[in-house]
């Protein structure tokens, strides 16, 4: 079994793969230039994830469900990016699961208000990998996948 975790973002979208049995991991990300249009970002994320799904053949897709209570524009932009993730997964006949940032931090660190560096530290120790040269989005994507593994008891 292979779980694909996705951290959707408007400048970087990352995906992390974890095999729950072996704890083998892989990851990738797409980074957009600041002037890239929203339409190009949405399509870019869709193509990026569609290719990742076709190449790695995960069994399930898990996406972080961003929560923004103040900035509605940011919420809409991230919702559009998340929709591209969901469409790529569904087009490939995969189930999609969603977890909030608080659920992810609680599952990984045991504390729902942990910061991104704490999440990265715990992931590095748990999965025996080094993520220091990678964007925090990569550790977030792996954390989403690991949260699903813990939650479903895989």
Question: No. of H helices and E strands in the chain?
Answer: 5, 5
Beta bridge partners of residue 41, listed in sequence order: none
SS (H, E, C) 50-94: HHHHHHHCCCEEEEECCCCCCCHHHHHHHHHHHHHHHHHHHHCCC
Instruction: Kindly list the catalytic residues.
Output: 7, 64, 137
Q: Residue 64, annotated ligand binder?
A: yes
Strands 95-99 and 60-64: parallel
Question: Binding site residues, as ranges?
Answer: 7, 64, 137
Question: Binding site residues for Mg(2+), as ranges?
Answer: 7, 64, 137
């Amino acid at each position: 079994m292979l779980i694909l975790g996705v951290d959707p973002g408007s400048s970087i979208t990352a995906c992390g793969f974890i095999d729950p049995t072996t704890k083998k991991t892989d990851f990738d990300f797409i980074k957009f230039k600041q002037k890239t249009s929203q339409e190009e970002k949405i399509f870019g994320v869709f193509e990026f994830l569609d290719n990742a799904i076709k190449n790695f053949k995960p069994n399930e897709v898990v996406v972080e469900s961003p929560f923004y209570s103040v900035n509605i524009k940011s919420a809409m932009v991230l919702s559009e990016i998340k929709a591209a993730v969901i469409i790529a997964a569904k087009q490939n006949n995969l189930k999609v699961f969603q977890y909030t940032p608080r659920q992810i931090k609680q599952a990984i660190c045991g504390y729902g208000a942990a910061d991104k560096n704490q999440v990265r530290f715990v992931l590095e120790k748990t999965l025996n990998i080094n993520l220091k040269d990678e964007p925090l989005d990569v550790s977030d994507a792996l954390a989403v996948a690991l949260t699903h593994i813990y939650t479903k008891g895989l």
